[in-house]
Amino acid sequence: MHFREAIPEDIPQLQLIRNSVTENVLSDPALVKKEDYEAYLFRRGKGWVCEIDKQVVRFSIVSLQDKNVWALFLLPAFERKGIGQHLHDLMLDWYFSNSAETIWLSTDPGTRAASFYCKKGWKENGFHHNEIRFEMDQDSWNSVKKSS
């Protein structure tokens, strides 16, 4: 397993991963274009990937500009291997080293993703469209890191 920052050449694989998920499925995959990935990876924030045998199997993207997690997805065959936790932690460490603002994300209710975020210390704070809105502030993140 190799973790690194995402590069432009990763975008086709990121799109493939995003469109392969079984939870939080996009209603129309064509709505999220290559240009969106470029903007979030290189202008609005930063992203990371996990490679196994030179194949990108998971990625995360966080936006400093929007103060949110734009993406944290993996190929279904690579679930429950601890990859998501490591990418999550890389992403939040980077975010809070660059901003003291509370960060947010949203995900469908009743999913493994929602359970994952609760276990990682995110707090529910209403809804964003039809998804649960979760938030994490810097002090909470520091406490989560100390206890893990």
CATH code, 82: 3.40.630.30
Task: Give me 133's structure tokens.
Answer: 């809105």
| pLDDT for residue 109 is more than 90 | yes
Q: How far apart are CA 124 and CA 19, in angstroms?
A: 26
| Residue 67, pLDDT score | 98
User: Total domain count for the chain?
Assistant: 1
Q: Domain of 141?
A: 2-147
| pLDDT for residue 15 is more than 90 | yes
Residue in the block written with tokens 């199997």 = 57
Residue-wise pLDDT tens digits, 54-108: 999 999 999 999 999 999 998 887 777 777 889 999 999 999 999 999 999 999 9
- Tell me the three state secondary structure of residue 54: coil
| Residue 83, pLDDT score | 79
Residue type at 64 in one-letter notation: L
Which residues are within 8 A (CB) of 94 and not within 5 positions of it... i.e. 6 or more apart? Answer: 46, 62
- The DSSP bridge pattern shows strands 103-107 and 131-136 to be antiparallel
